């Protein structure tokens, strides 16, 4: 367990240290974006557990995260088509969160990320 509670404020503070990251909203909830592209945010879909965030990662990285730490990372049917993973904030420490946000930053900035065909769904 982390020594101090991780909240979206912690996510925001760490995320804003990365180049080009800015605060924004997605579907009415707080989010972090890079050049207008969504990087991480608070999920609004009711399938996500309270106290979670979603973080943009490619499908291969998501599979590795889910296999390595299923108590921290998870996915629901709603999020399955998206290049993203859900994260239980109560089960991640700041160092791992920092690495995860770095992974998301690299994912968002390194290539064009096409939207899912179901792009009107709510995150």
Instruction: Flag whether 119 is in a domain.
Output: no
What average pLDDT score do residues 77-99 get? 97
Beta strand spans in 11-122 (E): 21-26, 29-34, 37-41, 52-56, 73-74, 84-88
Range of the domain at 64: 8-110
| Residue 57 is assigned to a structural domain of this protein | yes
User: Do 113 and 38 contact (CB within 8 A), yes or no?
Assistant: no
pLDDT of 101 reads: 98
Q: Which residues contact residue 113 at a Cβ distance below 8 angstroms, ignoring those fewer than 6 apart?
A: 37, 56, 83, 107
Per-residue confidence (pLDDT) for residue 1, from 0 to 100: 42
pLDDT interval class at 112 (50, 70, 90): low
Instruction: Check which CATH number belongs to the domain holding 90 and give it.
Output: 3.90.1150.30
Number of domains, the chain: 1
Domain annotation covers residue 116? no
Residue scoring higher pLDDT (112 or 41): 41
pLDDT per residue over 47-85, tens digit each?
Answer: 999 999 999 999 999 999 999 999 999 999 999 999 999
Asked if residue 117 belongs to a domain, the reply is: no
Are 43 and 29 within 8 A, CB to CB?
yes
**Cα 12 from Cα 96, distance rounded (Å):** 15
How far apart are the C-alpha atoms of 84 and 56, rounded to whole Å?
A: 4
């Amino acid at each position: 367990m982390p020594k101090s509670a991780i909240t979206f404020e912690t996510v925001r503070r760490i995320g804003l240290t990365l180049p080009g990251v800015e605060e924004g909203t997605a579907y009415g909830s707080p989010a972090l974006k890079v050049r207008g592209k969504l990087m991480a945010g608070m999920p609004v879909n009711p399938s996500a557990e309270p106290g979670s965030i979603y973080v943009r990662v490619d499908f291969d990285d998501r599979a590795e995260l889910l296999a390595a730490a299923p108590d921290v990372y998870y996915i629901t049917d709603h999020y399955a088509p998206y290049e993203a993973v859900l994260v239980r904030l109560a089960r991640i420490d700041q160092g791992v969160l920092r690495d995860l946000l770095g992974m998301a930053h690299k994912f968002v900035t390194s290539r064009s990320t096409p939207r899912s065909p179901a792009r009107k769904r709510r995150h």
